[in-house]
Structures are given as structure tokens and as C-alpha cells.
Amino acid sequence: DAGVTQSPTHLIKTRGQHVTLRCSPISGHKSVSWYQQVLGQGPQFIFQYYEKEERGRGNFPDRFSARQFPNYSSELNVNALLLGDSALYLCASSLLNRGQPQHFGDGTRLSIL
Amino acid sequence: AQSVTQLGSHVSVSEGALVLLRCNYSSSVPPYLFWYVQYPNQGLQLLLKYTSAATLVKGINGFEAEFKKSETSFHLTKPSAHMSDAAEYFCAVSVQGGSEKLVFGKGTKLTVNP
């Protein structure tokens, strides 16, 4: 069975630009979460979506937004990119029951010049 | 608020030696706890989870962890390290609420020496 897939794998942008990252969850998983992992740190929660509704948001500015589609895939959008947005962006999918593990994709490495 | 502390950002062991990676959590409610492993240039892979069943949890690749409520700990162990265990390990706690947010520790990088 296919795991969580993310695209693209790598991306280079300049300050002020906009970026869209994409994620396809494991088949049957209706919950998708996004995390930001800065080099040398643990992942930080950005968003969770379930059935196209936002269920949680981390401490990130409004430049970050996301959405989930009817097929449960998801997009993360970041506007007005800053150097500090350089990070690995991880998508995770799960069954929406507390205690069910989240399954992660390999991430999108975003570099801001 | 739930939080996780991983003691030791770097741990180095010899091949065949015991692996012990420390994790302490803070939670006002019974926690759900997870250990993940991250290999270079990859995402996170679930090693094991604690969800209030048995306190000794067995995971993949020979790893196990013991939940100790009195010590608020969930340390990860493996009796005999293998070169392929070299990676970064993250402990995480599931936050109660409407979202299934995971709060991660800062990670421990494990080096295995031949």
C-alpha cells in the first residue's frame, strides 16, 4: 500500500514569493496534518484538517494557510516567504481517533534564498 | 500544556551495546506517547506507541519503551545496537483536544560505532 506522498521533494524560492506544497494521505485516512521541521529541531504543528474542515492550528502567522480536498489530499500554502521559512515540511495522515499514530511522508525541503 | 523533554541531543554507543534514549513528558491527562525515527533526508517512521494498555511497549526493529507514570518517563531501549540504528529519534505526546496535534521533543541523534 502506498504511504503518504508529498510533492515536490525539494523547492528553492526567494524571499517574498509564494509556495504551494502538496500531500496525498494513505488510502482510508481522512485526517491530514502539516508540520514544520527546522534543522536540528523536532517537528512543529502547523495545521490539521479532517473532512475538509480545519480542526487545529499551531502558532504560525496568517501567511500560512492550507486546505483539504474531497479526495482528502491537502495543500499547504505559504505567502510572502521569509528566510526563516526554510525548513522540511512534513505531512502526516491518520485515522481521526486519539491515540492513532500519524504516518508521515518524506517531506518537502524548502529553501529560501 | 503537554510537553516532551528528550535528555541528550547526541548519544553514541558501540555496535552490540545497549541503547537507551530518554524521554520525559508533561501532561495533565493520561498521555498517548510515541517514538519516531528519522533517517537522513527522510520523514518520520513510527517505532512504537503507548495508548494506556500495557506499560511495556514493543516496537519495530527490536526497540521497546516502558511507560512509568510515577517518573513521567517513556524511555526507549534496544538491547543490542546495530549500525543501521544510527538515526535521529523523536519522542512525541498527543495533545488532547479537537485536533490530533503531536508535540515533539527536540530529538536525540544516535551514533553507532563499529
Q: How far is A26 from chain B (nearest CA, A)?
A: 14
* Alpha carbon separation from A81 to A7, A20, A88 (Å, rounded): 18, 11, 14
Q: How far is A11 from chain B (nearest CA, A)?
A: 14
**A45–B103: do the CB atoms touch at under 8 Å?**
yes
**A43–B96: do the CB atoms touch at under 8 Å?**
no
Distance CA B11, CA B37 (A): 14
Structure letter (DSSP) for residue B70: G
Closest chain B residue to the Cα of A41, Cα to Cα: B106
Spatial CA neighbour of A8 closest among A106, A112, A104: A106
Q: Which residues of B touch A31 (CB under 8 A)?
A: 100
Q: Could you say which of A90, A98, A101 has the minimum Cβ distance to residue B43?
A: A90
List average pLDDT for each run of 10 residues in chain A, which is 113 residues long.
Answer: 91 97 95 94 94 92 97 97 97 82 94 96
Q: Could you say which of B99, B104, B106 has the minimum Cβ distance to residue A48?
A: B99
Strands A108-112 and A10-13: parallel
- Residue B52 has a pLDDT of 76
- Residue A98 has a pLDDT of 67
C-alpha cell at A17: 514569493
Query: Both ends of chain B: CA-CA distance in Å?
Result: 41
- Residue A75 has a pLDDT of 98
- Residue A108 has a pLDDT of 97
Spatial CA neighbour of B68 closest among B50, B80, B48: B50
* Residue A20 DSSP SS3: strand
Spatial CA neighbour of B78 closest among B44, B43, B108, B101: B108
Type of residue found at B67: F
pLDDT band at B51 (very low <50, low <70, confident <90, very high): confident
Q: In chain A, what are the helix, strand and coil shares in percent, each to the nearest 5? A: 5, 50, 45
Strands A64-68 and A53-57: unpaired
Q: What is the mean pLDDT of residues B91-111?
A: 86
Q: Could you say which of B32, B42, B105 has the minimum Cβ distance to residue A106?
A: B42
